[in-house]
Amino acid sequence: MKLFVNTTSPFVRLVRLAIEEKGIADRIEIINVDPWADLAEFISANPAGRVPTLVTDDGAAIAEAHLILRYLEEIAPQPSIYPAEGLAQSLATAALALGATEAATAVIIGRKSAPNFDTDMVGTKRFRTMTDGLARLDAALPRDFDDRADIGNLAAVTALDYIVFRYTDRDWLAELPNLAAWRERQKGRPSIEKTMPYI
Ligand SMILES: N[C@@H](CCC(=O)N[C@@H](CS)C(=O)NCC(=O)O)C(=O)O
């Protein structure tokens, strides 16, 4: 299989965290692309030109992180990232984290064409989503990875690290003492360290 990625995308990271936790990295060739560069092979796999995009050994091209996660769960069911026990709570945690992640990427993309994006109506709502989403995670922490790796904590570490990485003018962790301590406890986990975003 092939996975089109870049090194910054939180949606890519979510998928790569699942790949690492499921122990299937050796089955997947990683192809780094610039999603804005319209590389022919990439666009042919995903006309939206967005990472992550997975191409299976049978040639099926699957875009959208959640659809890729669904496929990974099928080909490598254990360890499951959607365990039945406490599933609703894990999905609720993931929903908060994904809302914050979507908002954070929307601002980065919005700035490309609208210089005042941060302060317009949409940008203001996206920042509020990030702030409130992380505050709610701080008030109701995800499980530790040592307990289990599930969609909730995969999405939470993805959201937190991405926002800290992209929005450096604010000390997010100082405002989120519980989440900061939670993040500290996850340090050293191979899946997390291997997939940290960078430019
Ligand atoms: N809903 C998609 C979002 C993917 C996405 O927005 N990827 C960004 C990188 S973070 C991208 O490739 N952007 C290029 C573009 O918007 O054209 C998913 O869950 O995979």
Domain spans in the chain, listed from the N-terminal domain onward: 2-75, 87-193
Predicted pLDDT of residue 111 = 96
The architecture CATH gives domain 87-193: Up-down Bundle (1.20)
Cβ within 8 Å of residue 139, ≥6 positions away: 178
What six digits make up the tokens of 198?
A: 């960078």
> In percent, how much of the chain has pLDDT > 70?
100
- The answer to whether the CB of 140 falls within 8 A of the CB of 88 is no
Question: Closest ligand 1 atom, CA of 50?
Answer: 12
Tens digit of pLDDT for each residue in 111-132? 999 989 999 999 999 999 999 9
Predicted pLDDT of residue 124 = 97
Average pLDDT, the chain: 97
Statement: residue 38 has pLDDT above 90: no
Q: Check for a shared fold between 2-75 and 87-193.
A: no
Nearest CA to ligand 1 atom 20: 64
- Identify the CA nearest to 145 among candidates 94, 184, 176, 189: 189
What six digits make up the tokens of 49?
A: 């030109």
User: What is the spatial distance between Cα 9 and Cα 198, in angstroms, rounded to a whole number?
Assistant: 9
What single DSSP character describes residue 166? Answer: H
Q: Is 102 in the pocket of ligand 1 (CB under 6 A)?
A: no
Answering whether pTM is above 0.85, one says yes
Q: Is 65 in the pocket of ligand 1 (CB under 6 A)?
A: yes
Q: How confident is the model at residue 160 (pLDDT cuts 50, 70, 90)?
A: very high
User: What is the spatial distance between Cα 16 and Cα 51, in angstroms, rounded to a whole number?
Assistant: 12
Segments in 23-81 forming alpha helices (H): 40-45, 65-75
User: What is the spatial distance between Cα 163 and Cα 176, in angstroms, rounded to a whole number?
Assistant: 12
Q: What single letter denotes the amino acid at residue 39? A: L
Q: How many angstroms does the Cα of residue 65 sit away from the middle of ligand 1? A: 9
The architecture CATH gives domain 2-75: 3-Layer(aba) Sandwich (3.40)
